Chains A and B, each alone.
Chain A
């Protein structure tokens, strides 16, 4: 049996990883269900056109805001999970379990990426994308592509960051970024009306995504960047598993 990567052993480890860390799947799934539920509620109450009585429009606006908050919240959650890929080395008990389970380091690392990044991101992108698309906004696909590409790109940074530094630092940083984004979002929901100077690069990026070629390019760049981060992260991971801090104190 191959001691570097064996598909059967990987699958066994992945199943174990999913069951042992259910929140990695249930929380994004729950969040996206709430998001989608809010959308459905408004869609049926206010109608697709958005016309109607003031109360319905208020409901629609509230749901739209909720959608935005949950959208950013979901993205932040993906980043938090991605930065936690190396957290198995943080405590003695989790570390013992992680290192003594009979699977190779590569199988364990890939499983962590699947559970901490691929599953939450897929759930997020699918539900958020479908919700936005169903909202009948003309620029939904553009927004979805922009957000997904940005999320994959930033996840690559956080994977690398999480591999290098302790989880607390990464979580505080993510929380600060999330708070900033939510604050901006709260005061300036409509992206077209945003007039903060420092948001210009985002607006340029966002508008650029309306071109299919540019959008495709950015998405490919994001995926390639994530893969490079994952490969570098693996070498940091291997280094960490050689000198496991909780056991060397």
Chain B
């Protein structure tokens, strides 16, 4: 479990977070959403101990992340948006890095690679950006760490790979694991995430599970006067409304929810508080 307790963080004069508190529990895949510059990547770096909060604490399974304890690092894995891989074969990369992760599973690695139609006999420097990302994600999943953090993991992936990504990640999920995915490409993580966290203007403005959202809200392909939020779309309009007792459950539209939360934060959250 990762606990973010009342943190404040700023880049020189630009405040990013002020009194931000969040909890990420096991057995859940979190979708971390926010506008450009809202601080999604900053939050991920704070969780990994790459940045230190000016106030407050970030704890992962009881470890203060500012200490960067090897024991904590061995149980978490970060897939950053941009990364470097050495000029060696993937097999060699695995041999060199797997010993750092006590729960590393070769079986999981092979399963993930086959999920992406890849094999381990590849040279990392000969791969395209998308292929490198897939290989890195496979290693990250095979490390079997309790916490897996991915920053824009679908950037650079082609269309079939995005669907493979969802399948591969969901097949590696278990009750002891927390996966946090930060992304702009909300469609890429639809049907994968169990929980949505939206950050905006230095705070967390929305933090609900998918089950809670679909229990309390309905998403319609029409504009409605009684809706909490409506917007124009190619087909006419879309809207988010409070779900009434007799209303059927509707599929979640993450993009619409995101826009609704940014536009009508209080009205949306009020639905859940009642």
The residues of A with any CB-CB pair to B shorter than 8 Å are: 1, 3, 6, 9, 12-13, 15-16, 19-20, 92-97, 99-105, 107, 241-244, 247-249
Contact with A along B5-34 (1 / 0, CB 8 A): 000000100000000000000000000000
Whole-angstrom distance between the alpha carbons of A132 and B256 in the complex? 76
Contact with A along B82-93 (1 / 0, CB 8 A): 111010100010
* Chain B residues, Cβ within 8 Å of A102: 70-71, 73-74, 100-101
Shortest distance between the CB of B224 and any CB in chain A (Å): 44
Which 6 residue pairs are nearest across A and B when measured between Cβ atoms? Answer: A102-B73, A102-B74, A20-B86, A93-B84, A102-B100, A16-B96
State whether B83 touches A97 (Cβ < 8 A): yes
Which residue of A has the minimal Cβ distance to B75? A102
B49 interface residue, CB < 8 Å from A?
yes
* Chain B residues, Cβ within 8 Å of A93: 80, 82-84
State whether B71 touches A12 (Cβ < 8 A): no
Contact count band on B:
20 to 34
B69 interface residue, CB < 8 Å from A?
yes
Whole-angstrom distance between the alpha carbons of A13 and B100 in the complex? 8
* Chain B residues, Cβ within 8 Å of A105: 68
State whether A100 touches B51 (Cβ < 8 A): no
Whether A248 contacts B101 in the complex (CB less than 8 A), given A15-B96, A93-B80, comes out as: no
State whether B97 touches A1 (Cβ < 8 A): no
B271 interface residue, CB < 8 Å from A?
no
The residues of B with any CB-CB pair to A shorter than 8 Å are: 11, 45, 48-52, 66, 68-71, 73-74, 77-78, 80, 82-84, 86, 88, 92, 96-97, 99-101
Whole-angstrom distance between the alpha carbons of A242 and B88 in the complex? 30
Shortest distance between the CB of A239 and any CB in chain B (Å): 12
State whether B86 touches A19 (Cβ < 8 A): yes
Interface centre among B78, B82, B100 (most CB of A within 10 A): B100
Whole-angstrom distance between the alpha carbons of A94 and B86 in the complex? 10
Which residue of A has the minimal Cβ distance to B69? A3
Whole-angstrom distance between the alpha carbons of A36 and B70 in the complex? 42
20 further contact pairs, Cβ within 8 A, besides A99-B48, A100-B50, A102-B73: A3-B70, A6-B70, A13-B100, A19-B88, A19-B96, A20-B86, A20-B88, A20-B96, A93-B80, A96-B78, A96-B80, A97-B83, A100-B48, A100-B77, A102-B100, A103-B100, A104-B70, A107-B70, A244-B51, A247-B45
* Chain A residues, Cβ within 8 Å of B49: 99
* Chain A residues, Cβ within 8 Å of B66: 242
Whole-angstrom distance between the alpha carbons of A210 and B169 in the complex? 68
Which residue of B has the minimal Cβ distance to A97? B84
State whether A100 touches B78 (Cβ < 8 A): yes
Which residue of B has the minimal Cβ distance to A242? B52
* Chain A residues, Cβ within 8 Å of B52: 242-243
Shortest distance between the CB of B24 and any CB in chain A (Å): 17
Shortest distance between the CB of A11 and any CB in chain B (Å): 9
Which residue of B has the minimal Cβ distance to A249? B11
Q: Which of A9, A107, A248 contacts B51 (CB 8 A)?
A: A248
Whether A3 contacts B96 in the complex (CB less than 8 A), given A248-B11, A248-B51, A249-B11, comes out as: no
State whether A94 touches B84 (Cβ < 8 A): yes
Which residue of B has the minimal Cβ distance to A105? B68
* Chain A residues, Cβ within 8 Å of B88: 19-20
Shortest distance between the CB of A62 and any CB in chain B (Å): 36
* Chain A residues, Cβ within 8 Å of B48: 99-100
* Chain B residues, Cβ within 8 Å of A12: 96, 99-100
Which residue of A has the minimal Cβ distance to B151? A96
Whole-angstrom distance between the alpha carbons of A247 and B84 in the complex? 16
State whether A100 touches B82 (Cβ < 8 A): no
Could you pull out 26 A-B pairs where Cβ atoms are within 8 angstroms? A1-B70, A1-B71, A9-B70, A16-B96, A19-B86, A19-B96, A20-B86, A20-B88, A93-B83, A94-B84, A96-B83, A99-B49, A100-B48, A100-B77, A102-B71, A102-B74, A103-B73, A104-B69, A107-B70, A241-B68, A242-B52, A242-B66, A243-B52, A244-B51, A247-B50, A249-B11
